[in-house]
Amino acid sequence: MELATFGAGCFWGVEVTFRNVKGVKEALVGYLGGTLPNPTYKDVCTGRTGHAEVVQVEFDPAQVTFERLLDVFWENHNPTTLNRQGPDVGTQYRSGIFYHSPAQKTAAEESKRKLEASGKFARPVVTEITPTSEFYIAEDYHQRYLEKRGLAACHV
């Protein structure tokens, strides 16, 4: 098993998207990239901790490649809006790939270059590609949030 971590706005929908990818064994929502140890949702929502809402994905590379996960990431959010996804605004909603290995870093950078060269977006891609840091799992009520409400029916 390997880990991949992505920030693409509010983590509830991102979790569902990755959870429904064949080969993904687990998807947990949490916080990464900030300065406050053990942040709560309330802390992160202030926008002052530096954390991003992220999904940490555990996947089987024999069933799904990191490159496929990158495709899912790009396809399911707008990587050209700085610190914003839809109505959610703030640094906690930034677009980010938090790599766990040099190979993931290389793959993420190449994937971003290809997306920029594709002309799909008129504006620059602002997604950060940075090393992973301490992952703080979000409160239990955030895990499988949309599934608990019957809203997790998408399939990738």
Residues 76-133 have pLDDT tens digits of 999 999 999 988 999 999 999 999 999 999 999 999 999 999 999 999 999 999 999 9
Catalytic residue IDs: 10
The overall average pLDDT reported for the chain is 94
Rounded to whole angstroms, what are the CA distances from 92 to 89, 114, 154, 156?
8, 26, 24, 25
Name the pTM for this structure. 0.93
Residue 152's pLDDT is what? 57
Please report, rounded to a whole number, the percentage of residues in the chain having pLDDT higher than 90: 92
2-148: in CATH 3.30.1060.10? yes
What is the distance between the alpha carbons of residues 14 and 105, in angstroms, rounded to a whole number?
Answer: 20
What is the distance between the alpha carbons of residues 113 and 84, in angstroms, rounded to a whole number?
Answer: 21
DSSP annotation of 148 reads H
| 116 close to 124: Cβ distance less than 8 angstroms | yes
Q: Residue 138: which pLDDT band, with cuts at 50, 70 and 90?
A: very high
